[in-house]
């Protein structure tokens, strides 16, 4: 049996510029952090002559081509290990909540398949193959940050080159700043979930046709990503918190589906109760609101009164790993 653990993520700056429709023309920069909320993938040999798959649904099929889950099907085609295989996926937080679950799932599954086949694989090659499956193989309108932060872990700056190359490097952040972020970053579930593809398709289409407003917005988001990196590496997390608010104001302009009256109300309430900045994590339209708060208690009380659930977290520094190899 093989069991892998792969972290989910929060995007800290530059999110959205990593879609190839933008990064392949202008280059991109994203700062992300892996958190201690995970997707676990288990692969086990069985005594049957089929594939038994357990995720949010159940599948029992005789051939890889019959697998309905597109990512599982593509990964098994690339790394055949069966038949006679059981695969189980368990997530700390459900999909569609903006924490990069699809990319983490793909990376974790590839890590498990390679371990099952006793193949050595690097974090960089894991992330690159996960991107190939989702973006090129399945044609999904997603970026590359989720796959790379899931593979590498930590607080990582990812630079996406116009030729498709990716440079991922850890932020030069002090332990004091790490502790400050873990104390002052608060995350709340809005009660909404959404398919990121729907929100990102509009950005992809407009970027591909060179829509001036969309491209200019993403240029500004990339600059804010650079500001985030500078603030964190110069030990100024409060400045980072204020940049988050500017980031959110720009992010809302990218799509009419980015937010809704309820989310706007939660955000305004947070800003008047201890938060200095925040944003929706992920593509938008639902999932989790992330805030940097000077007064954490006031923010928790205010949003709890609105029925929002806080999810506490620390940073994951390991990336996707094999937990059990039996």
Question: Using one digit for the tens of pLDDT, what is the confidence trace for 135-179?
Answer: 999 999 889 999 999 999 999 999 999 999 999 999 999 999 999
The structure's pTM equals: 0.94
Task: Give the pLDDT score at 203.
Answer: 66
Task: Give the pLDDT score at 326.
Answer: 77
Task: For residue 288, give the DSSP letter.
Answer: E
Burial of residue 147 (CB within 10 Å: 0-12, 13-18, 19+) is: buried
Percent of the chain with pLDDT over 70: 96
- Using alpha carbons, select from 321, 323, 324, 289 the residue that is nearest to residue 306: 289
Give every CB contact of residue 262 below 8 A, 6+ residues apart in sequence: 190, 192
Token look-up 């709340």 returns: 188
Average pLDDT over residues 105-120: 97
pLDDT of 285 above 70: no
Task: Give the pLDDT score at 178.
Answer: 97
Alpha-carbon torsion, ordered 196, 202, 207, 208, to 10 deg: 100
Instruction: State whether the Cα torsion 308-16-322-62 is positive or negative.
Output: positive
Task: Give the pLDDT score at 265.
Answer: 96
322 near 115, Cβ under 8 Å? yes
Task: Give the pLDDT score at 24.
Answer: 93
Task: Catalogue all structural domains in the chain, each as residue range(s) with its CATH number.
Answer: 2-172+316-325 (3.30.230.10), 175-310 (3.30.70.890)
Question: Reduced to 3 states, what is the DSSP secondary structure of residue 246?
Answer: helix
pLDDT of 104 above 90: yes
Distance of CA 321 to the CA centre of its chain: 17
Average pLDDT over residues 41-54: 96
278 near 184, Cβ under 8 Å? no
Instruction: Report d(CA 303, CA 293) in Å as an integer.
Output: 12
100 near 145, Cβ under 8 Å? yes
- List b or e across 117-126, with b for residues whose CB sees 16 or more CB atoms inside 10 angstroms: eeeebebeeb
Question: Using one digit for the tens of pLDDT, what is the confidence trace for 124-143?
Answer: 999 999 999 999 999 998 89
The end-to-end CA distance of the chain, in Å, is: 5
Task: Give the pLDDT score at 192.
Answer: 67
Task: Give the pLDDT score at 252.
Answer: 87
Average pLDDT score over the chain:
93
Task: Give the pLDDT score at 5.
Answer: 98
Q: What angle do CA 264, 183, 228 make, to 5 degrees?
A: 65
Average pLDDT over residues 262-288: 90
- Quickly state the pLDDT bin for 284 (edges 50, 70, 90): low
Question: Reduced to 3 states, what is the DSSP secondary structure of residue 209?
Answer: coil
Task: Give the pLDDT score at 257.
Answer: 76
């Amino acid at each position: 049996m093989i069991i892998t653990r792969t972290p989910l993520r929060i995007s800290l700056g530059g999110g959205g510029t990593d879609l190839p429709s933008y990064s392949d023309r202008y280059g991109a920069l994203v700062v992300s952090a892996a958190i201690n909320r995970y997707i676990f993938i288990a692969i086990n040999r069985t005594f049957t002559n089929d594939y038994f798959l357990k995720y949010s649904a159940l599948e029992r099929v005789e051939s890889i081509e019959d697998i309905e889950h597109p990512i599982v099907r593509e990964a098994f085609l690339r790394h055949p290990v069966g038949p006679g295989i059981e695969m189980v996926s368990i997530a700390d937080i459900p999909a569609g909540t903006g924490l990069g679950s699809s990319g983490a799932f793909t990376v974790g599954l590839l890590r498990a398949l390679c371990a099952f086949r006793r193949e050595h694989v690097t974090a960089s090659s894991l992330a690159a193959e996960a991107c190939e499956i989702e973006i090129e193989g399945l044609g999904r309108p997603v970026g590359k940050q989720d796959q790379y932060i899931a593979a590498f872990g930590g607080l990582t700056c990812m630079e996406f080159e116009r030729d498709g190359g990716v440079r991922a490097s850890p932020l030069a952040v002090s332990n004091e700043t790490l502790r400050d972020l873990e104390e002052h970053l608060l995350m709340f579930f809005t009660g909404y979930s959404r398919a990121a593809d729907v929100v990102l398709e509009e950005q992809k289409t407009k970027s591909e046709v060179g829509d001036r407003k969309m491209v200019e917005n993403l240029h500004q988001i990339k600059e804010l990503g650079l500001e985030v990196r500078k603030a964190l590496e110069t030990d100024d997390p409060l400045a980072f918190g204020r940049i988050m608010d500017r980031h959110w104001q720009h992010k809302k302009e990218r799509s009419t589906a980015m937010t809704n009256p309820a989310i706007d109300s939660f955000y305004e309430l947070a800003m008047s109760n201890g938060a200095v900045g925040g944003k929706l994590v992920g593509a938008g339209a639902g999932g989790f609101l992330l805030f940097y708060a000077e007064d954490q208690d006031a923010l928790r009380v205010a949003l709890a009164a609105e029925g929002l659930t806080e999810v506490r977290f620390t940073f994951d520094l390991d990336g996707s790993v094999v937990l059990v190899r039996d």
